[in-house]
Amino acid sequence: MYDLIVIGAGPAGYEAALKASELGKKVLLVEKDRVGGTCLNYGCIPTKSLLHQTHKVSELSDLKRLGITIDNISYDYSKFLSNKDNTVGRLVKGIEFLLKKNNVELIKGEATLESNITIKVNDNLFEGANILIATGAKENTLNIEGFENCITSKAFLDRDLSNTKKVIIIGGGVIGIEIATILTHLKIETVIVEALDEILNGIDEDAIALVKKDLKRSKVKVLTSAKIDKIQETKVYLDDNEIDCDFVIACVGRKPDLSSFDKNNVLVKDGPFIKVDKYFKTNINNIYAVGDCVKGIQLAHYASSCAINIVETLFNKECTFKLDNVPRCIYCDKEISTVGEIAVESDIVVKYDLVANPKAVIENNNRGFYKLIFTKNGLFKGATLVCSKSSDMINLFVSALNQGLTISDMQNDIYPHPSFAEGIKEALSFIKN
Ligand SMILES: Cc1cc2nc3c(=O)[nH]c(=O)nc-3n(C[C@H](O)[C@H](O)[C@H](O)COP(=O)(O)OP(=O)(O)OC[C@H]3O[C@@H](n4cnc5c(N)ncnc54)[C@H](O)[C@@H]3O)c2cc1C
């Protein structure tokens, strides 16, 4: 019998398996598709690879500003796709290597739940003292006529854009905005159709305003409060409008599909998600669930942190992970990175505009800001950073939250000059003690 059987080798599953093995446990990991899950194969990594490569194309106009002339510039999008596949392949191999090195037994196949300790894969039964379900989520669908004509974000990542002139994106959330950014880098006409009255629901309003300005500058049309009547392969019918395009992409959220894994419907659900308590326990003893298959934050680093937390707690090791302060990043032209809470009226809020930041000016990259929030007693509460590499800086604020730092604690740090980060020092200097 295994100490732990993990279903799904995405960031939640493979991290859980590695941690359990590190703690000396006998672990079986089951994956029906590719190790790395959505994150490595169809999500975080391939999108960032395409963003990076297409950004190089858009940067060429900046070269002219610098006085660098390169004649006959062109790009081969099929090469971008193969570079993306190579990057994904290397990272997947890396995880497979780690699993092997750490003696995690990996089997390929679709698991089904047979009892509270038994799963079936490829007609073989396996028993585990504990089972961790980390089966992730799939693209959501909408009940709109012709919705099946939309391609998914997964299909988009393999699509050759060489001859694409115009695309409609249904959904102005994080994934929709990332895909729009890839398209704008290639100067492909883009329309975002959002049902809510604003894109990037829940994000700081100044950050949304800046993203919208950037999208407008790139000639992206953003239609909010939009009601779609019908979708054809190359046309979307709205309330008062019809828009033609080369293809339509649906980016309308993700939800789990547990119909085959939990074929006997023994797990209690919360909507489409598996219901868990605060220890990620399901209604069945010894069975836990984590990551995108449970309700909550759908991010890779949150999924893996929760998974490690479960394993450490399960095998009686003191768990050191803090799961409260989760950084969230949106990878558009100016990355938006946030952590903590949004401001209430009594809070102290400071905002530093990057317009005069020396490093940002040197790089002609000075649209953005840092907004820091403190309680009226000076306790740090949250941050929103909008600049090109904000995802690499936000952890400073995760640590500040975890350590319960105050304004004066943070004002004492020395920042390198010139750097994007020194703007944080400037922001803090706006608060007089
Ligand atoms: C386009 C896109 C971009 C994204 N970008 C980011 C980003 O930049 N940063 C970020 O943090 N998050 C991002 N995400 C979200 C991130 O990918 C997910 O939050 C993360 O992958 C969830 O991890 P998971 O382990 O819970 O599930 P998954 O990564 O989905 O892994 C679940 C695995 O379980 C397997 N599985 C399912 N059922 C079974 C079964 N019955 N038997 C065996 N195996 C099974 C699946 O094949 C899959 O490999 C993005 C998502 C998308 C779609």
Cα(142)–Cα(401) distance, integer angstroms: 38
* Ligand 1 center from residue 6 Cα (angstroms): 14
Query: Under a CB-based contact definition with an 8 Å cutoff, are residues 286 and 177 in contact?
Result: no
Confidence at residue 215, expressed as pLDDT on a 0 to 100 scale:
96
* Ligand 1 center from residue 359 Cα (angstroms): 36
What DSSP string describes 318-375? PP----S---EEE-SSSEEEEEEPPP-TTSEEEEEEGGG-HHHHHTT----EEEEEE-
* Ligand 1 center from residue 77 Cα (angstroms): 26
Confidence at residue 239, expressed as pLDDT on a 0 to 100 scale:
87
Residues of the chain with pLDDT under 50: none
Q: Is 409 helix (H, G, I), strand (E, B) or coil?
A: helix
Ligand 1, atom 20, lies closest to the CA of 300
Confidence at residue 27, expressed as pLDDT on a 0 to 100 scale:
98
* Ligand 1 center from residue 298 Cα (angstroms): 9
Ligand 1, atom 13, lies closest to the CA of 44
Confidence at residue 432, expressed as pLDDT on a 0 to 100 scale:
81
For the CA of 13, the closest atom of ligand 1 is 25
pLDDT per position as a tens digit, 134-150: 999 999 999 999 999 99
Q: In terms of DSSP bridges, do strands 138-139 and 254-255 run parallel, antiparallel, or are they unpaired?
A: antiparallel
Confidence at residue 1, expressed as pLDDT on a 0 to 100 scale:
96
pLDDT per position as a tens digit, 370-409: 999 999 999 999 999 999 989 999 999 999 999 999 999 9
Angle at 104 between CA 258 and CA 28, to 5 degrees: 40
Cα(76)–Cα(297) distance, integer angstroms: 36
Confidence at residue 350, expressed as pLDDT on a 0 to 100 scale:
97
Q: For domain 147-252, is the CATH number 3.40.50.2300?
A: no
CA distances in angstroms from 177 to 99, 222, 333, 338, 413, listed in the order given: 34, 10, 10, 16, 34
Ligand 1, atom 15, lies closest to the CA of 299
Q: In terms of DSSP bridges, do strands 124-133 and 287-289 run parallel, antiparallel, or are they unpaired?
A: parallel
* Ligand 1 center from residue 361 Cα (angstroms): 38
Ligand 1, atom 5, lies closest to the CA of 44
Confidence at residue 237, expressed as pLDDT on a 0 to 100 scale:
97
Pocket (CB within 6 angstroms of ligand 1): 7-13, 30-33, 37-39, 42-44, 47, 110-111, 134-137, 153, 175, 261, 291-292, 298-301, 303, 331
321: amino acid identity, one letter? F
CATH number for the domain running over 4-139+255-314: 3.50.50.60
Could you tell me the sign of the dihedral formed by the alpha carbons of 338, 340, 345, 350, in that order? Answer: negative
* Ligand 1 center from residue 76 Cα (angstroms): 29
Task: Tell me the best of 135, 260, 274, 391 to mutate to test the pocket of ligand 1, counting ligand atoms within 8 Å of each CB and taking the most.
Answer: 135
Confidence at residue 149, expressed as pLDDT on a 0 to 100 scale:
98
Fold agreement (4-139+255-314, 147-252): yes
Domain boundaries along the sequence of the chain: 4-139+255-314, 147-252, 334-429
Residue 65 DSSP one-character state = H
* Ligand 1 center from residue 15 Cα (angstroms): 13
Task: Tell me the best of 44, 301, 330 to mutate to test the pocket of ligand 1, counting ligand atoms within 8 Å of each CB and taking the most.
Answer: 44
Cα(33)–Cα(38) distance, integer angstroms: 10
Ligand 1, atom 26, lies closest to the CA of 291
CA proximity to 136, closest of 22, 46, 44, 26: 44
Ligand 1, atom 6, lies closest to the CA of 44
Show the tokens assigned to 110: 């679709």
Cα(35)–Cα(106) distance, integer angstroms: 9
CATH number for the domain running over 334-429: 3.30.390.30
Mean pLDDT, the chain, whole residue set: 96
Ligand 1, atom 47, lies closest to the CA of 33
Strands (E), 151-309: 166-170, 189-193, 221-223, 228-232, 235-238, 241-244, 247-250, 254-255, 269-270, 273-274, 287-289
Task: Tell me the best of 6, 14, 15, 39 to mutate to test the pocket of ligand 1, counting ligand atoms within 8 Å of each CB and taking the most.
Answer: 39
Could you tell me the sign of the dihedral formed by the alpha carbons of 81, 43, 334, 142, in that order? Answer: positive
